[in-house]
Amino acid sequence: MPESPNPANSPGPVEPAQKPVTAIPTLAQTATERKTVAVSSALERIRRTHPRSSRIPDKTFALLILLTGLSVFAIVVFVAWELVDKSKLSLHQFGFSFFWGRDWDPVNDQYGALPFIYGTLVSSFLALLIAVPLSIGVAVFITEMCPIRLRPIISFLVELLAAIPSVIYGLWGVFALAPLLREYVEPFLAKTLGWTGFFNGPMYGIGMLAAGIIMSIMVIPIISSITREVLTAVPQSQREAVLALGATRWEMIRMGVLRNARIGIVGGIILGLGRALGETMAVTMVIGNRAEISRSLFAPGYTMASVIANEFTEATGDLYLSALVEIGLALFLVTLIVNALARLLVWTITRGQTGRASA
Amino acid sequence: MNRALRVLFCIFTLSAGVMAQTTLNGAGASFPNPIYQKWFSEYHNLHPDVQVNYQSVGSGAGIRQVQAGTVDFGASDGPMTDEQIASSKVKVLHVPTVLGAVVPAYNIPGVSQEVKFTGEILAGIFLGKITNWSDGTIAKANPDIKFPNQNITVVHRSDGSGTSYIFTDYLSKISSDWANTTGKGTSVKWPVGVGGKGNEGVAGTIRTLPGAVGYIELIYALQNKINYGSVKNASGQFIKASLESTTAAASGVKMPADFRVSITNPPGKTAYPIASFTWLLIPTNPADKNKGKLLKDLVLWCLDSGEAMVSALSYAPLPKEVADKAKDAVKQQVK
């Protein structure tokens, strides 16, 4: 179909200069005739709007991409359905009291998930508490203040942290970090901050504090790399504008850069939190694996991922297995809820503000 | 194209000879995995038409899979319970293969000698009643050791394991307190202490934590040269775990017909009190008769020639009478 070469036309679907040659369908007598007419008019539309050479590939590509997007959704739904299905026995036995029961006793078939939920949440939030200021500091340093020659080296080193396998972190935790904590850090914390109630009790070295520290090291590369992307994406004009108004360096960073990159930074934190919630190997090697709720960070704890990894292979008994799958379901739900809350937080912060540098 | 087809045809005809091989699939306990792998590869060298594939996925998974009939045989460190046997689609015979033992390991600053543990001491420590190494009960059993004033930290297994089953079985027998509160199992609710993952986790934690005491497998302790103590047996002797004392534990025990017996705290002067069999779970009436016959031959070979190979890998062999009894049972009961 010859198209008039109009320079004002953008590439892509091109409007024809003349009317379609085929006759407009009016009196289709039978159903098959109507169907043929419908197909031919659809083909007509494709012929009109797509250049001849890329018609079928375009449609196929669009269909494939749609399937890919739907498949992600389908996987999540499938996982959720399997979790609910396999934990039916335990759901039936304990009902909702499973989620606030504190007793985990495989011998007497009594199961409660509260110590694990508590352990997961506390260790993850402790990890974030340590990791977020460090990661943002690292990102600000790399983008704003680092000499250009050092920039690739430091960013490479931070990325390297992400490449270390979890088991290595666990080993390092047991043999290097735990003795360090037990000998120096925990006595110091007990002496200075013992009045808060978070730093007392016997000092094993391993425990909630060790798990939080290890997880923060694992989460730093994630948050810092996303923060770095977002900070680089802030337009230079913002920085210059704030400086032109007489701001100091720190004020420029705070008002011109960090403020604009807020949404992206929170997104990075959510991603880091996701990793922390699901981390299994490193945590189970240093957290002490004790299903008890304790205020002190020196005490051992237990996370949901750890208990599943530890007990699943040897679990005999249908109720025991079903309880472990229900812990998996609890972890799934906790992750969903925490993510939803984080998104809510983002929404409340940025509500009413017009999106400036949204990365 | 023609050449490719010809090559493929050659491969098919050659593999037709290989395809006459039968594969037996088994799954279960991780404790005997090294010796089973050795046995099965030796057996394959002797009988090239039989390939045995064993996956150490854990006793629990092994029991489940043999109940469901997805594997040809299973393996477990703990015998199946009555409920599991009743609910199983497949009837199995428990065939004991090797013996394992559990030893108490410790890290007491300033003490390098071998510590003697009585049942009372072990139960007291693991129940949380004895909290310091300078406790009188420990000193009474070890009059020539000077213990420091150091808090005891209990280290147990966080993952479900046959080692925990053996240890808690022993504690249940020697302490009614333990039997009533905690009980025995591959995973229990420990009254005190921290958990380590695997023998490596427990040993690592004990090594780096002063005042720690925990239990590990004998083989692991021997191969990694970890100090462990001796335990008082039912005859009043302090026995240090070894291959001989573990085999002695099985000798004096009355063996039931289905071989599901616990040999912790046995009578016998040289018996080590914390030991146990590990079992192969062999279906007595297999669906595939051909595979059933091959499996029967395999098990009889393991109980016969296989037993000579176990000490090299630090496993304790079955006492002769137990091996003979097991062979008879396999010949009679497995169709």
- pLDDT tens, residue by residue, B251-261: 878 888 888 88
* Residue A23 confidence (pLDDT) above 70: no
Residue A30: how many other CB atoms lie within 10 Å: 8
- Tell me if residue B99 falls in helix, strand or coil: strand
Which ipTM did the prediction report? 0.81
Residues 37-76 on B with a CB inside 8 Å of A are: 57-61, 63-64
Q: Write the pLDDT tens digit of every residue in A303-345.
A: 999 999 999 888 877 899 999 999 999 999 999 998 888 888 8
Task: Decide: A123 and A276 in contact? Cβ < 8 Å.
Answer: yes
Whether A179 has its CB under 8 Å from any CB of chain B: the answer is yes
Q: What are phi and psi of B148, to 5 degrees?
A: -75, 165
Task: Decide: B196 and B202 in contact? Cβ < 8 Å.
Answer: yes
Return mean pLDDT, chain A: 86
Task: Decide: A144 and A257 in contact? Cβ < 8 Å.
Answer: yes
Task: Decide: B78 and A107 in contact? Cβ < 8 Å.
Answer: no
Which residues of chain A neighbour B204 with C-beta distances below 8 Å? Answer: 174-175
Q: What are phi and psi of A79, to 5 degrees?
A: -60, -45
CA distance A88 to A68: 30
Residue A252: how many other CB atoms lie within 10 Å: 21
Residue B52: how many other CB atoms lie within 10 Å: 22
Chain A residue with minimum CA distance to B193? A290
pTM, two decimal places: 0.81
Q: Write the pLDDT tens digit of every residue in B66-80.
A: 888 899 999 988 888
Q: Write the pLDDT tens digit of every residue in B16-38.
A: 555 568 899 999 888 888 899 99
Residue A353's pLDDT band (boundaries 50, 70, 90)? low
State the average pLDDT over residues A194-217: 92
* Residue A134 confidence (pLDDT) above 90: yes
More confident residue, B328 or A34: B328
Chain A residue with minimum CA distance to B202? A285
CB contact under 8 A, B160 and A315: yes
Closest Cα partner for B276 from B153, B205, B202, B170?
Answer: B170
* Residue A234 confidence (pLDDT) above 90: yes
CA distance A358 to A355: 6
Residue A38's pLDDT band (boundaries 50, 70, 90)? confident
More confident residue, A352 or B254: B254
Q: Which of A103, A202, A310 sits opposite B158 (nearest CB)?
A: A310
pLDDT for res A2: 47
pLDDT for res A13: 52
pLDDT for res B13: 62
Which residues of chain A neighbour B61 with C-beta distances below 8 Å? Answer: 313-314
Whether B171 has its CB under 8 Å from any CB of chain A: the answer is no
pLDDT for res A253: 92
Which residues make Cβ contacts (< 8 Å) with residue A84, sequence separation at least 6? Answer: A91, A329
pLDDT for res A132: 96
Task: Decide: A130 and A216 in contact? Cβ < 8 Å.
Answer: yes
Closest Cα partner for A200 from A298, A301, A300?
Answer: A298
Chain B residue with minimum CA distance to A102? B189
Chain B residue with minimum CA distance to A314? B60
CA distance A159 to A224: 9
pLDDT above 70 as % of chain B = 96
State the average pLDDT over residues A2-8: 49
Q: Which of B59, B189, B204 sits opposite A107 (nearest CB)?
A: B189
Which residues of chain A neighbour B205 with C-beta distances below 8 Å? Answer: 174, 206
Residue A122's pLDDT band (boundaries 50, 70, 90)? very high
Whether A104 has its CB under 8 Å from any CB of chain B: the answer is yes
- Tell me if residue B24 falls in helix, strand or coil: strand
Task: State how far residue A290 is from chain B, nearest Cα, in angstroms.
Answer: 6
Residue A50's pLDDT band (boundaries 50, 70, 90)? low
Which residue's structure tokens are 């008019």? Answer: A41
CB contact under 8 A, A175 and B208: yes
- Rounded to 10°, the helix A114-140/A318-350 angle is 40
CB contact under 8 A, B194 and A206: yes
Closest Cα partner for A49 from A111, A110, A1, A114?
Answer: A1
Task: State how far residue B10 is from chain A, nearest Cα, in angstroms.
Answer: 40
> What are the tokens at A235?
């337009």
Q: Which of B151, B153, B201 sits opposite A285 (nearest CB)?
A: B201
Return mean pLDDT, chain B: 88
CB contact under 8 A, A106 and B184: no
**Alpha helices of chain A — where are they, by DSSP H?**
31-49, 55-86, 88-94, 114-140, 151-163, 166-172, 178-180, 186-193, 208-233, 236-244, 249-251, 262-278, 281-286, 304-311, 318-350
pLDDT for res A211: 96
Residue A292: how many other CB atoms lie within 10 Å: 14
State the average pLDDT over residues A77-87: 94
Chain B residue with minimum CA distance to A289? B195
CA distance B278 to A9: 80
Mutate to test the interface with A, among B57, B81, B85, B158 (most CBs of A within 10 A): B158
Closest Cα partner for A107 from B334, B301, B191?
Answer: B191
